[in-house]
Structures are given as C-alpha cells and as structure tokens.
C-alpha cells in the first residue's frame, strides 16, 4: 500500500506556525500570571487572582508548607504521661459538739462558832418553803444545849424543830416549814470554852452567824 503525501499547499506555512506558537505562548503566560502564580505562590501581579480567590488559597498553602517545615526542624520531645490525680479525701463526719451539762451547785458550808462559858450563839439559814438541808454539828470538847427552830417572818411566832441538852453532836435533815430563816441556837453551860462546827449541805440561799 502506497502512503500518500499531502501536497505542499495543504501544509501550514511557516508564518502560520509562528503565529500559533506566539498565541499559545501568550495564553500560557497569561495563565501563569493570572492563575498559577496566585494559586501556588500567593503572587498576584494582575489582581485577577484576588478576585477569583486564588491568591488567598496560595498564601494559605505557603503558610501550611512553612509550618510543616518548621515542625520538621523542631527536636522531638517525648511526652511523659502525668500521673493520675489522687482522689479527694473522703469526708469524715465530725460528731456534733454537745453543750456541756450545767449542774447547779448545791450550797455546802462549814461554819464554826465559839462559845464562852454561859454564852450562846445562833446560826440561821435563809430557805424557801419546803427546802431541805442535811446537817451535822459537833463540839471540840464538852457538851452544849441546842434549839433548832425558826421565827415566822410575818407574825414572829416561834416554830420549833427540836431541842436537846448536854449533847456533843447531832445530825439530821431540816425541812423548812415556811419561807424565812431557820437554824440553831447553842448555849454553853460548862466552865470551858467550846467550839461548835456545823456542816450544812442542801437548798438554802444564805448562812449567817447571829450574835
């Protein structure tokens, strides 16, 4: 089969080839300036890349490449895991503090009276009606006469609880028949000086030695 060669008139002329080449080169240059440079390098000499958004894309691409290069140059630091935080201490219930128990103080006294021969003295307690007082008394030597009594605060009438002669000691419980002063009167009928010691414990407001 014989290959047919086109006639010379059918081939493009040298001028036409040069013109096509120039057009292609101009188109490639325009494409490079308006598209490739903005999109790849962030360079936009014509401003068209900024309008099309290609310049921003190129600048972003360059920034990412720079960050990747910087990261590659940094020394690698081993990451040490932090130890877990210890759990918070468990709440411990503190027992509620209770108010201290206040106990009323019970009056208690030791009272001494000295009796010369033939002399007498009196000790009285201020008490409410129905109040109770435990008592005991004793002499240091010898014996005395006593009278446990009260005088009514309104009428002045004598009220006796008990009396005795020639005793060296006595004890008991005094219960106040009414509100007022209740107590003992001692007299020394001997020739010696005698000291009487009285111990009281109970419900009374005051104790006083009367002459």
SS (H, E, C) 149-167: EEECCCCCCEEEEEEEEEE
pLDDT tens digit sequence for 131-150: 999 999 999 999 999 999 99
Within 8 A by CB and 6+ apart from 136, the residues are 169, 170, 171, 172, 198, 199
Residue-level pLDDT at 14:
77
pLDDT tens digit sequence for 159-188: 999 999 999 999 999 999 999 999 999 999
Q: Could you tell me the pLDDT band of residue 10, with boundaries at 50, 70 and 90?
A: low
**% the chain with pLDDT above 90:** 49
Residue-level pLDDT at 75:
54
pLDDT tens digit sequence for 32-56: 666 666 667 666 667 776 666 666 7
Count of beta carbons in the 10 Å neighbourhood of residue 128: 12
Using alpha carbons only, give the angle 160, 165, 171 rounded to the nearest 5 degrees.
65
Question: What is the Cα–Cα distance from 23 to 101, expressed in whole angstroms?
Answer: 114
Residue-level pLDDT at 106:
78
And the tokens for 160? 């006796």
> Is pLDDT at 151 greater than 90 in this prediction?
yes
Mean pLDDT of 83-108: 63
- Which one, of 44, 179, 188, 41, lies nearest residue 119 by Cα? 188
Surface-to-core class of residue 44, CB atoms within 10 Å of its CB (0-12 exposed, 13-18 middle, 19+ buried): buried
Mean pLDDT of the chain: 80
DSSP letter for 109, please: E
Residues of the chain with CATH 2.60.120.680: 108-210
And the tokens for 21? 């080449």
Q: Could you tell me the pLDDT band of residue 86, with boundaries at 50, 70 and 90?
A: low
Mean pLDDT of 56-68: 69
CATH 2.60.120.680 fits 108-210, yes or no: yes
């Amino acid at each position: 089969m014989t290959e047919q060669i086109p006639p010379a008139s059918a081939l493009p002329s040298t001028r036409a080839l040069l013109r096509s080449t120039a057009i292609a080169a101009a188109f490639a240059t325009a494409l490079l300036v308006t598209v490739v440079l903005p999109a790849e390098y962030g360079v936009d000499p014509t401003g068209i890349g900024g309008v099309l958004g290609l310049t921003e894309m190129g600048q972003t691409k360059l920034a990412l490449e720079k960050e990747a290069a910087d990261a590659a140059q940094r020394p690698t630091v081993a990451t040490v895991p932090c130890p877990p935080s210890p759990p918070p201490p468990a709440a411990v219930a503190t027992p509620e503090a209770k108010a201290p128990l206040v106990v009323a103080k019970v009056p208690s006294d030791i009272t001494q009276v000295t009796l010369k021969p033939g002399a007498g003295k009196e000790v009285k307690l201020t008490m409410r009606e129905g109040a109770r007082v435990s008592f005991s008394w004793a002499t240091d030597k010898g014996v005395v006469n006593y009278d446990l009594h009260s005088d009514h605060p309104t009428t002045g009438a004598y009220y006796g609880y008990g009396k005795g002669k020639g005793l060296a000691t006595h004890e008991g419980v005094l219960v106040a028949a009414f509100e007022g002063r209740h107590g003992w009167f001692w007299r020394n009928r001997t020739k010696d000086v005698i000291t009487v010691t009285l111990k009281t414990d109970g419900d009374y407001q005051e104790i006083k030695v009367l002459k």
